[in-house]
Every structure is written in structure tokens, then in C-alpha cells.
Chain A
Amino acid sequence: MSTIDVNGKQIEVDEEGYLANLNDWEPAVAEVMAAAEDQELTDEHWDIINFLREYYEEYQIAPAVRVLTKAVGKKLGKEKGNSKYLYELFPYGPGKQACKYAGLPKPTGCV
């Protein structure tokens, strides 16, 4: 099991970089993961990360991209509820990349 360094604390991640233990998450984890991928986190990124964390809290799963897109459109406005917007924010895939930063497991239904 590999680890990432978050402010001097060693946090376990799996072979794809997802947190081994969901409870280890803190905002700094997302910052460290994003920095490793040369990705800057803006307020727009945080909207999605926070949305994913709330979704997981309620339903105990990371949503499939299609479900995320629909739900974001409903919650944050129609102009954000499309895959173009989400892929611009998270070029490695909104499901995979945003879920990783949010400390969630890889999305169920990510085929």
C-alpha cells in the first residue's frame, strides 16, 4: 500500500491513488492529489467535490457520471449540468478524478 504526504501526515492510498480509508479525508488531501496532477482547484472544482461528498454521505455510493451530470444540473444550474463543463474541470474524467479528490472510492457504474 502506498501513501501520500499531506502536511507531514502519511495517508494510505490504493494502487490507483484513491484513499484507502474514507475517514482520512480532509480538504488538504484534495489539494495534495490535485497538485500531483498539476491541477489547480478553483471554487468550481470545490463545488463538484463537495457535491460528491454530500452524495456519498446520503447514498453511500459515488454516482456514475451520467447521474452526476444530471444531479449537478439540478443543484448548481443547467449550464453546469453537462459533461463538457465537468470534463473541462476534470480532464481525467469527472467521475474518476473528482471522486478521487473527494476521497471516495472509484464510482460504481464506471465502465
Chain B
Amino acid sequence: MSVKKFMYVNRKAPYGTIYALESLEVVLIGAAFDQDVSLAFIGDGVYQLTKGQNTEAIGQKNFSPTYSALGDYDVNKIYVEKESLEERGLTLDDLQHLVWEDEDDDWAEKDSIRLVSRAELADVLDEQDIILSF
């Protein structure tokens, strides 16, 4: 089986619809197939990665800790669009610090999140074989 470049584009706020959780589950399940996986967070999708989420009042499971497991699943290319953060008054510091361990570099911890401009993200999207939008 040849390796394809998969991109999961996340565009919705984490709660209120099922899109964010569904996307995360598809990514985790899909990771078993050893493909080249990237994630992008744009628009309200950037809220999915924010720190300190508390879902108690809406009676739903807070699945935000699961993003920290993505590194274990070899998902370590997480693109966040700069303009989407700025438009919402957010910075990288408002997001979880997601890392992965590089087996080829003595398990050094490396950042998974790549802050990119809208134009840069367009180029990244252009390189993909398959784009799944949530």
C-alpha cells in the first residue's frame, strides 16, 4: 500500500456539533494505517485546541486531553492558521502545548503545532492527496 498524504481540516468549535470529536476519532483510527497525516485548524476550529476546557455545565465529555495523545499515534504535523487565531483574539499561548517524541533523535520532545499564515496553509493543502473537512 502506498503512503498518501492525508489532511484533516477542522473548522468547527469543539462542542455544539459532533464534527470535532468525529474528526479526532477518525484521525486516531486512521493512524493505524501508517499514512502521512496532517491536521489543520482554521476558523472556529482553533478553539478545539484551547487550554482549560471545562464541559461540566453542558454535560458532555471533555475530549480535549486526547489531542495530547496524537504524538503517540505519530500524528505530529498540526497546522494552526495564524489569522484565525488573531481574528478571535487568541495566541499560541492559549492553545495546548502539543508535542511528539522523535524516536530517531533519542526521544527528544518536539513541538507538533506549526503556526502558518493563510497563504502558507493554502500551499500545504495544495500538496495533499486527500483532504477531509470537518
Chain B nearest CB: distance from A36 CB in Å?
28
A interface residue count range (under 10 / 10 to 19 / 20 to 34 / 35 or more): 10 to 19
Number of A-B contacts (CB under 8 A): 37
| A59 and B62 alpha carbons, distance in the complex (Å) | 10
Asked if A108 is an interface residue, CB under 8 A from chain B, the answer is yes
Residues of chain A in range 70-95 having any CB-CB distance to chain B below 8 Å: 70-71, 74
Asked if A1 is an interface residue, CB under 8 A from chain B, the answer is no
Name which of A58, A60, A70, A71 has the most chain B CB atoms within 10 A of its CB. Answer: A60
Q: Which residues of A contact B69 (CB under 8 A)?
A: 59, 61, 63, 67
Residues of B in contact, count (CB < 8 Å)? 15
| A74 and B72 alpha carbons, distance in the complex (Å) | 12
Q: Which residues of A contact B73 (CB under 8 A)?
A: 64, 67, 109
Q: Which residues of A contact B61 (CB under 8 A)?
A: 60
| A109 and B66 alpha carbons, distance in the complex (Å) | 13
Contact A60 B63 (CB under 8 A): yes
Contact A70 B72 (CB under 8 A): yes
Contact B28 A60 (CB under 8 A): no
**Of A60, A67, A71, A109, which contacts B65 at CB under 8 A?**
A60
Contact B68 A108 (CB under 8 A): no
**Of B29, B32, B66, which contacts A59 at CB under 8 A?**
B66
Given that A59-B69, A61-B69 are contacting pairs, would A109 and B63 also be in contact in the complex, using a CB cutoff of 8 Å?
Answer: no
Residues of chain B in range 53-100 having any CB-CB distance to chain A below 8 Å: 61-63, 65-66, 68-69, 72-73
Chain A nearest CB: distance from B45 CB in Å?
19
**Of A60, A61, A74, A109, which contacts B32 at CB under 8 A?**
A109
Contact B65 A58 (CB under 8 A): yes
Q: Which residues of B contact A64 (CB under 8 A)?
A: 28, 31-32, 73
